[in-house]
Every structure is written in structure tokens, then in C-alpha cells.
Amino acid sequence: MERKSPGSIVMIGSMSGAVVNVPQPQAPYNAAKAAIRHLAASLAVEWAGANIRVNCISPGYMLTALTQKILDDNPELNKKWTSLIPQGKIGRPEDLMGAVAFLLSDASKYVTGADLRVDGGYTLT
């Protein structure tokens, strides 16, 4: 990418890199997602001189094939998760598109090292 700078990289983390989700135990997952956030911040500093921006988005609960199966098997978990999200609903993968498009576009040309949480407000509570 350095040959074609300026450039932009968007890493996909998770809100779990910033907060401990409840009620499920997932320490290894949380640690891995925190590492992604920190890697994005570190690379943002290291590569800024090459005009390469590095940012991270941290999705909240997203309704994917995997989470749909988990929620189908445990309807109470669906109620629990939804109750913890101020917007009152679980996100969908397409809810991430605007954040990614923004961070890859020139509209964010002065944004680097950011962690943009797309979580319906979960991490605010």
C-alpha cells in the first residue's frame, strides 16, 4: 500500500475489545478483539508518515447466521441482549457499511487510529 499512498485500512474488531459482554464468558475473544483495536492504533501512528490511515470499527451484537442459531437455541438470550442495547434491537451486518465507507473515504481523511463503535449504544450503558 505504501507505493500507492494515500491509503486507508479499516480493521474489524468488536465492542468486546472495549467492554466485557454479559452474560456469556468469552475472555479469549475479548482479549483478541482488544488486540485488534490496539494494533489499529499502533499502526495508525507508525504509518501516518506514509499517509496511510488505519482505523477500526467495533460492531456490537450483529444478527449473523452464527448469532441467529445461538438466539434460536436460547430465546432468553435474545431478550437479554436486546434489553442491554439502548436502540432496542440487534444490529445487522449491513449496519456496518456506512461506518466502513466513511472510514475508507476522503470524508475521514483526518481520522486515524479511531475505534468507531457500531453497537446501538450498548457500550454507553
- Tell me: the pLDDT tens digits for 18-37? 999 877 889 999 999 999 99
How many angstroms separate the CA atoms of 124 and 27, rounded?
A: 20
Domain edges within the chain: 2-60+92-124
User: Which position has the grid cell 499517509?
Assistant: 51
How many angstroms separate the CA atoms of 111 and 44, rounded?
A: 9
> Which residues of the chain, if any, have pLDDT below 70?
1-3, 5
Check: CB of residue 61 under 8 Å from CB of residue 67: yes
Concerning whether 122 is annotated as a catalytic residue, the answer is no
CATH 3.40.50.720 fits 2-60+92-124, yes or no: yes
CA–CA–CA angle 70, 31, 42 (5° rounding):
130
Concerning whether 79 is annotated as a catalytic residue, the answer is no
Concerning whether 16 is annotated as a catalytic residue, the answer is no
Q: Alpha carbon of 7 to those of 51, 59, 103: distances in Å?
A: 7, 23, 11
Residues paired with 29 in a beta bridge: none
Q: Alpha carbon of 16 to those of 51, 100, 110: distances in Å?
A: 29, 18, 26
Task: Choose, from 8, 33, 58, 122, the residue flagged as catalytic.
Answer: 33
